[in-house]
Amino acid sequence: MKRFLFSVATMVAVSMGLVGCNGTQNNIPQEITNDEVILHAWSWSFNTVAENMHLIAEAGYDMVQTSPAQTCFVGEDGGMALFSAEGDSVRGKWYYYYQPIDWKIGNYMLGSRNEFKAMCDSARKYGVRVIVDVLPNHVAIDHTAVTAALDSVVGGHENLFHANGFTDITQWNDRYECTTGMMGKLPDVNTENPDFQYYYMKYVNDLIACGARGFRYDTAKHIGLPSDPTDEKSERNNFWDIATGREAIKDITLLYPDSLFIYGEVLQDRNVKELEYAEYMDLTASNYGGALRNALNHHSYHADNLAEWHHPVAANQLVTWVESHDTYCNAHESAGMSDELIRQGYVFLTARQHGTPLFYSRPAGSTRDNYWGNNRVGERGNDEFFHPEVVAAIAFRKAMSGYAEQVVATDNGAVIEVMRGNKGIALINISEEAQTIALTTTLPNGTYTDKVHNTTFTVADGNISGELAPLASYIIY
């Protein structure tokens, strides 16, 4: 699992007062940094991911995250629509792969075990790591669809669930309800049952054996921590110790734990134990995503507090996003934002020193009037993941590795400048109007041409001046 420690050089810099309150150092490379980026290939089939692996690698992504790979409930006669309404000619819902009926690789929506392995082989060829979305917390709403094999290994159907597993969560900030109760009519699995743990870890290790090199844990905050109250069927909450390789279960231990990238969907709220979860894995920066969307929607950096990460966990242990598949698909809280606006937010996150940015791939053909676009599970998302501004931001992130950030904005908040030491900057216009700027900068005096639009900027006496098109970003280094 990814872990970062302060280097001796950084501690010396702190002790000498070379690190400012905004986290910058006086052009001294800083050892703590996040360089990697994730493409969330949402609802792409394993074959589609494999077919596009060259493009993913060329764009600069280090990791590609798949949707859930385990056996799932077959909904609406196996229809492959992302989302269908009554009367549609093609039926289906994207979220059926979030309804497990067994933990074996392969489902009707994304592909077989052999196709999963072929995708991982392709990723290895191009130097990309595969992250799999895993969900041990619950089964399908129709729990009678659970396979006989799964029921058998846990000693009977009733042993698959917490004693409280069919009780709806009503108090989301009550840790007992949150970690043992039923969420959205999805019966809660007894993740502390040793027989289930053994079966689940065989699935995880099979994913790794096929080539997976990381996991996103769905609904992670609904799986108990050691300090949480236990279900009456459980002796102790040890799932995370087993899932992250700290403990063995029977004769199985997590394969290659030190080489895996693991993060959990721990959505922030009251009484969420982020610091304890962070002892096991990286976490989603959900509140920061909300703050960023608020600033973008107001077309002003000053509309929210983007200087703070809105999280008690260190920024280098956060997965950041402008939007996730949940913010896009569920309440559509981000789906109304234009591709161009989302892109500027992503460039901002990617240009920053910390956090691991995740780019969510929206459906191909989607518009602000038609969120589902071509409305087909398995197909590639739209072209935004390899837009030139996105690709340039990823290249900038890697070129600026080790250099501390400083972030400033114009008085009207329309243009954000992310400076990395005195080596490079990103200029991001989040407004729908052209902007003329004169901003302080760390770049040396000179004339610069950005990497995307070939636009010229001038630096003199510590200020950069130039013209920015609406909803456009410029990379200079």
Q: Which of 92, 203, 97, 229 has its CA nearest to residue 150?
A: 203
What does the alpha-carbon distance between residue 83 and residue 97 come to, in Å, rounded to a whole number? 13
Q: Which of 177, 179, 178, 181 has its CA nearest to residue 167?
A: 181
Residues β-bridged to residue 456: 449
Would you place residue 15 in the very low, low, confident or very high pLDDT band (cuts 50, 70, 90)? Answer: very low
Q: Which of 109, 2, 104 has its CA nearest to residue 66?
A: 109
**Phi/psi at 230 (nearest 5 deg)?**
-95, 150
pLDDT, average across residues 217-241: 97
Compute CA 467 distance to the chain's CA centroid, rounded to the nearest angstrom.
33
Task: Give the gyration radius of the chain's Cα atoms.
Answer: 23
CB contact set of 45 (below 8 Å; sequence gap of 6+): 109, 110, 111, 115, 377, 378, 379
Helix (H, G, I), strand (E, B) or coil at 124: helix
pLDDT surpasses 80 at 11: no
Catalytic positions, please?
218, 265
Helix (H, G, I), strand (E, B) or coil at 408: strand
What does the alpha-carbon distance between residue 284 and residue 324 come to, in Å, rounded to a whole number? 10
How many CB atoms lie under 10 A from the CB of residue 373? 16
* 76 neighbors 86 (Cβ within 8 angstroms): no
Give CA separation, 361 vs 6, 43, 428, in Å.
Answer: 33, 9, 21
Helix (H, G, I), strand (E, B) or coil at 388: helix
184 burial (CB, 10 Å; 0-12 / 13-18 / 19+) is exposed
Instruction: List the structure tokens of 237.
Output: 């909450």
What does the alpha-carbon distance between residue 102 and residue 146 come to, in Å, rounded to a whole number? 6
Sign of CA dihedral 78, 82, 86, 87: negative
Would you place residue 20 in the very low, low, confident or very high pLDDT band (cuts 50, 70, 90)? Answer: very low
170 burial (CB, 10 Å; 0-12 / 13-18 / 19+) is exposed
DSSP at 211: T
Given CATH 3.50.50.60, say whether it is the number of domain 29-401: no
Q: Which of 232, 251, 217, 67 has its CA nearest to residue 136?
A: 217
Mean pLDDT of the chain: 93
Q: What is the pLDDT of residues 33-87, one digit of tens each?
A: 899 999 999 999 999 999 999 999 999 999 999 999 999 999 999 999 999 999 9
pLDDT surpasses 90 at 362: yes
* 158 neighbors 165 (Cβ within 8 angstroms): no
Domain boundaries, the chain: 29-401
pLDDT, average across residues 332-338: 98
pLDDT surpasses 50 at 13: no
DSSP at 67: P
pLDDT surpasses 60 at 3: no
Name the one residue in this structure whose structure tokens are 């981000």. 334
Residue 473: half-sphere exposure toward Cβ, Cα within 13 Å: 29
Model pLDDT, residue 430: 98
Model pLDDT, residue 33: 81
Would you place residue 375 in the very low, low, confident or very high pLDDT band (cuts 50, 70, 90)? Answer: very high
Give CA separation, 128 vs 6, 46, 443, in Å.
Answer: 27, 14, 33
pLDDT surpasses 90 at 16: no
Q: What is the pLDDT of residues 129-159, one digit of tens each?
A: 999 999 999 999 999 999 999 999 999 999 9
Query: Quick one: CA torsion of 301, 305, 309, 312, rounded to 10 degrees?
Result: 180
Sheet holding 463-468, edge to edge: 435-440, 463-468, 456-460, 446-449
Q: What is the pLDDT of residues 415-465, one digit of tens each?
A: 999 999 999 999 999 999 999 999 999 999 999 999 999 999 999 999 999
Q: What is the pLDDT of residues 279-331, one digit of tens each?
A: 999 999 999 999 999 999 999 999 999 999 999 999 999 999 999 999 999 99
Instruction: List the structure tokens of 286.
Output: 């959900």
Model pLDDT, residue 28: 46
